[in-house]
Structure 1
Amino acid sequence: MTQYLFEPPKVKSVPVKGEAAQYPVGRIFCVGRNYAAHAIEMGGEPDREAPFYFTKSPQAALASGETLPYPPGTENFHYEMELVLVIGAPVFRANAEQAAAAIYGYGCGLDMTRRDLQQVGKDKRRPWDLGKDVEGSAVFAPLSKAADLGEIGPQRIHLEVNGVVKQDAHLHELIHSVGAVVADLSKYYHLMPGDLIMTGTPAGVGPVVAGDVITGGIDGLDPIALKIGPAD
């Protein structure tokens, strides 16, 4: 048996409706600017040629309903409500049919972002890691199996802060569909069970402060909630 110098991190996981076993979190991929209105509000133009990505470490995963301390190093901490898809079978260089078949399930997610640090990265042509790969910044609600949600498109996606609606759109507004995202990402990675993909956020992102309560939902999926706590 392999011995380690210290105890390795515990595996993060997400509950799955109807299953006793949970979905283990491996890699977390995120699609940038996948709604046209959000791309514009971030000062860019919608890119319809191909999606682009950034990543979060597995340690960024946090369960819905938890309290997240306001993170260090930022004065502009933003919410982003997203549809999350999870991979259920190995897939590499997939066509559309193979990509669709590899999707195990869907859930609500929050991509919490140190927006000011992300902007510094943009301005200095540096990676976004300090802005995006934040401890506790990948918040996941319980997953539903793909067949239980049905065709992606008509579902409303929304987010509220302290009960006030901030984001309100529909999944048909995704520039790159879930199948297209999986197929494209599989050109660059051997995707496998344990991989989660956050598919992008609608317009209406904005800041939160300690004491704020974020809620959100997507038709047909378990809702999500997060409280912002005082800074450590």
Structure 2
Amino acid sequence: MLTARAPRISTLAGLREALTRRAGPEAADWLAAATREIGAQPAALHRHFPEAGRRCGRGALEPAEETDRADQADAPAEADGLPAGLAWTVDDAARALLLAAVPLRGAELAARASAVYHEGDAAERRGVLRALSLLDVGEHALPLVRDALRTDDARLLAAALGPYAARNLDPHTWRHAVLKCLHRSIPLAAVDGVVRRRDGELRRMACDYAVELTDAGRPVPSDLWFLTGHLPRS
């Protein structure tokens, strides 16, 4: 069974609304001042970006919008959603809004995002990856997604496979990223567009992996059965 995705943040307004509900007035004031400064002086991003967790908090972000129902129309839902640490956090939201305040677009904005990504720790990198679907960067930020997919950090993998990757990542890389999630026990609920983008080749790869697990006497996870298109044997 494919666990229901945590609702996605699809607009900056929705992200700002969610953050307002979770962060206090001091955090809101800091973020407003920081975004104004970044809008006037983009280099200020490098100073404010690492501060977001301390200034705004690091807890889970309450979703502002409903899940894209069309994307999981044939995916049974469970109430628990994503495990802790794989969904948006308050500092993710703050960092996304800081990046969105940079008055650049395309390759220039992607370069700025890449700079704070490579300068930052895991939480800062996750914030960049979360922000990508909300930034006007075209395909210029795909190197960041590919970098995150080479790690074994479940939080980075989940953040990398958001709406930006679902729209822009090539089929070969995306399929292997999905299989890596299964290898790392990351629920497919963390992968945006998995219902829409699964295809015959991914089904074949999933079947091969299911056979490998079965031959080794290991259980086949329910998400893997979902990808194969078969029901588990009773």
Higher strand share: 1
TM-score scaled to structure 2, two decimals? Answer: 0.22
Structure number with higher relative contact order (C-alpha < 8 Å, ≥ 6 residues apart) = 1
TM-score scaled to structure 1, two decimals? Answer: 0.22
Higher helix share: 2
